[in-house]
Structure 1
Amino acid sequence: MAPTHVLRCCQRGLSWIPVIFIALVVCWSYYAYVVELCICEYPSRIGEQIVYLIFFHVSFVMFVWSYWKTIFTKPANPSKEFCLAKVEKERYEKEERPEAQQEVLWRAAAGLPLYTRTGSGAIRYCDRCQVIKPDRCHHCSACDMCVLKMDHHCPWVNNCVGFSNYKYFILFLAYSLVYCLFIAATVLQYFIKFWTLCRRKSAENCPKNNLPETHAKFHVLFLFFVAAMFCISILSLFSYHLWLVGRNRSTIEAFRAPVFRTGSDKNGFSLGFRKNVAQVFGDQKKYWPLPLFTRPTSRIGLLPHHGSLALLRDVPGAAILLFSSIVSIVAS
């Protein structure tokens, strides 16, 4: 047990390396832009400095805020009602045949709001967490827990992206893209001057108001390259997740469609574009740009759409089951 515990601690420590790397890059970008470029090299351009610094700090604060919330928001886990009772757990562990184990799970899940199944039509159960998986819930091997509406585990935030922090993750991508675009756009003119006017080392070919021969020009050079590189990578990822939000899908569901009683349905949780967006950002649009948890007032993206729910009409007690599902999820 001791070596396993030590190995686990080492893995947890190493998992923070990508986050530390991003933090160092962000700190350097702040120093390079604010100190080296705006303050030290161009003290005479006060008006331009003020405008640049205001927009820079607004994007910087929103970027850091959303990044912080994405990292340190604990993933949402299944509530206690999805855990097997002690008697049911003992009965499940004693059974050796999968069919007998499924019988135990079917009895335990009789009153639970479950609409998805495994590919073979069985109850989704996590042996590691010993919990019946709610719809859209998956086990994360990195976090070693089941996560509600799990999208993916992101090493750059050292956290699982799911129901509790998916909005923060989207805003993190958005504000990081704005941050990098702003830096790249405002630094571009000095980057061009550096290459066109300062290629020769002689002072006469390098005007005094265009990045003199100091270490600042190297900050500008690398600042533009880093900002442009991150822009390209973030833009593709951000566009993909906007596409997922519009269809109320997770990354897992995009690659493997959820299975319902009638079979797999890639649009099983889609409520229409507007409602799909509200499932992530909430009903109050004024809070959409802020990394604040805005829980939707009706449903929370964990239940299927009306077409899938219509299949429950032939199931006894469907109305009671649907009502209890909504109440249990909102209460959690």
Structure 2
Amino acid sequence: MALSRGLRCCARVFSWIPVLIITSVVLWSYYAYVFELCVFTISNTLEKVAYLLVFHVCFVMFSWTYWKAIFTPPATPCKKFQLSYSDKDRYEREERPDAQKQILVDIAKSLPIFTRATSGAIRFCDRCQVLKPDRSHHCSVCETCVLKMDHHCPWVNNCVGFSNYKFFLLFLSYSMVYCVFISASVFRFFINFWVGDLPNGPAKFHVLFLMFVALMFLVSLMFLLGYHCWLVVQNRSTLEAFSAPVFTTGPDRNGFNVGIRRNLQQVFGDNKRLWFLPICTRYPPVGLYFNPVPRDTLLYPPEGLYSNPVPGEIPSCRFTLQPCSWRDALL
């Protein structure tokens, strides 16, 4: 027991190494750009002030989004999805797998759960002892189930899911803006140092290396950000891109796709003026948009669990489930 606890502590310490690497590179880039380039190399005062102003705006937005992506806790299933003491006791006493599946089915009837395991059974997490809400998965690193889990990112040492997916996307976006601005503004001085028009000194090494590092990160960020933009437009997570979610009607990769506008709103919120700021604009429960299905295969939700029903309209047509509150989801 003591050995496993020590190993977990060591793993937690080592998990911060990628974050420390990124932080060190960014702090060095700040010194190289502000002091070695702007203070010691650029002689034009107006140009120096303009570069410093734009640079600090990019630096602040990058740091803000990175901080939010790291320290925003992943949203977990609320208490409504946890087994009660009696249900847990009944489930553990039952030894027959089929009977256990039926117990979970009976419990899930009062919950807005529409996805299934590949076997068709209710998705259940033995470690967390919860019925998994739609699009949630268990993270072995964080040791908890995460709502709308996308992946566990070592570079932010956090699970990317419902609560911080917007911050993660903004972090990638502002990281790319940061690299683009550095590359574009340093390029002229990079050429001057390379051909020998500027004197050799400490600034030469910093400017040359700054250009290479910015371009290297820029190329990798372009592919990563492009992939996640495609996922947002399709309303898929990274896990769902590799394995299609299974509904009561079968697997469907586009089961959560409700159009580009609504897909974006599910990540960034309804207020477009706040889309590019790393502040919370979406709150659990996860808004589950379910595409229309044939009436004979329709699984109707419990009364009152979908919002704004249209009189006379089939409730399965793109309703939003609201099983719990933001405060409950974090408990």
TM-score for both structures, normalised by structure 2:
0.91
Q: SS state of the match for residue 279, structure 2?
A: coil
Where in structure 1 do 4 or more consecutive aligned residues deviate above 6 Å? none
1:156-171 → structure 2 map (5 Å cutoff): 156-171=155-170
Tell me which amino acid in the other structure corresponds to 1:33. Answer: Y
Residue 38 of structure 1 is matched in structure 2 by: 38
1:38-77 → structure 2 map (5 Å cutoff): 38-42=38-42, 44-77=43-76
Q: SS state of the match for residue 327, structure 1?
A: coil
**1:303 correspondence with 2:262:** no
Structure 2 CA distance, aligned partners of 1:145 and 1:312?
36
Which shifted more, 69-78 or 318-327? 318-327
Structure 2 CA distance, aligned partners of 1:75 and 1:97?
34
Structure 2 CA distance, aligned partners of 1:130 and 1:169?
28
Q: SS state of the match for residue 127, structure 2?
A: coil
Tell me which amino acid in the other structure corresponds to 2:235. Answer: N
| Contact map agreement 2:117 2:123 (CA 8 A) in 1 | yes
How far residue 329 of structure 1 moved from its aligned partner, in angstroms, is: 3.7
How far residue 213 of structure 1 moved from its aligned partner, in angstroms, is: 1.4
Structure 2 CA distance, aligned partners of 1:250 and 1:278?
15
Structure 2 CA distance, aligned partners of 1:306 and 1:258?
13
* Identity of matched residues, %: 56
Residue 115 of structure 1 is matched in structure 2 by: 114
| Contact map agreement 1:113 1:325 (CA 8 A) in 2 | no
Structure 2 CA distance, aligned partners of 1:315 and 1:21?
49
| Partner residue of 2:256 out of 248, 269, 273 | 269
TM-score for both structures, normalised by structure 1:
0.91
Tell me which amino acid in the other structure corresponds to 2:275. Answer: W
Number of paired residues? 316
What do residues 123-171 of structure 1 show as CA deviations (whole Å, max 9, x unaligned)?
A: 0000011110000000000101000000000000000000000000000
**1:22 correspondence with 2:6:** no
Residue 218 of structure 1 is matched in structure 2 by: 205
1:146-225 → structure 2 map (5 Å cutoff): 146-196=145-195, 198=196, 206=197, 210=198, 212-225=199-212
Please, which runs of 5 or more residues in structure 1 have no aligned partner? 199-205
Tell me which amino acid in the other structure corresponds to 1:115. Answer: F
Which structure shows the higher helix fraction?
1
**1:143 correspondence with 2:142:** yes
Residue 202 of structure 1 is matched in structure 2 by: none
Residue 95 of structure 1 is matched in structure 2 by: 94
Residue 328 of structure 1 is matched in structure 2 by: 323
How far residue 305 of structure 1 moved from its aligned partner, in angstroms, is: 2.7
Structure with greater Cα Rg? 1
Residue 237 of structure 1 is matched in structure 2 by: 224
| Contact map agreement 1:312 1:318 (CA 8 A) in 2 | no
Q: SS state of the match for residue 290, structure 1?
A: coil
Tell me which amino acid in the other structure corresponds to 1:269. Answer: F
What do residues 297-329 of structure 1 show as CA deviations (whole Å, max 9, x unaligned)?
A: xx9654133425x65885567544545973324
Q: 1:15 to 1:307 in 2, by over 3 A?
A: same
How far residue 54 of structure 1 moved from its aligned partner, in angstroms, is: 0.8
Q: 1:325 to 1:243 in 2, by over 3 A?
A: closer
What do residues 8-63 of structure 1 show as CA deviations (whole Å, max 9, x unaligned)?
A: 00000000000000000000000000011100122x31111111111100010000
